[in-house]
Amino acid sequence: QQQVKQSPQSLIVQKGGISIINCAYENTAFDYFPWYQQFPGKGPALLIAIRPDVSEKKEGRFTISFNKRAKQFSLHIMDSQPGDSATYFCAASGGSGGSNYKLTFGKGTLLTVNP
């Protein structure tokens, strides 16, 4: 059972363009939604995160939009740069008991930004 669905699998944008990656979740107990960036040979690194009590969070060129009713959230990368080329994962955590920090990841989106 895939609890976090991510699309698209891959994305190619031109430098300066907007990259948009979408995720949907099923478990209504989730209450923390981070996005991670991963470069080849490296571990995931937190990019930006949101909780469902806000509909949008912006940090620099990165924005998360969150729709609690639809159980969907998305990452927008403005003014995309070649250095943003990486794999992006959405994730979710939350729920009862001590495992509420356990992350459930989407399958990832390979972003390529052409110069």
Name which position in 7, 65, 104, 112 contacts another protein (CB under 8 A): 104
CB of 115 to another protein, least distance (A): 25
Nearest Cα neighbor of 78 from 9, 23, 13 is: 13
Binding mask 23-52 for another protein (x = CB under 8 A): ---------x-x-x----xxxxxx--x-x-
**Is 26:39 a contact under the CB 8 Å cutoff?**
no
Residue 83 CB, nearest distance to another protein (Å)? Answer: 19
Handedness of CA 109, 24, 34, 67 (dihedral sign): positive
How many other C-beta atoms can be found within 10 angstroms of the C-beta atom of residue 48?
17
List contacts with another protein (CB under 8 A).
4, 6, 32, 34, 36, 41-46, 49, 51, 89, 91, 98-99, 101-108
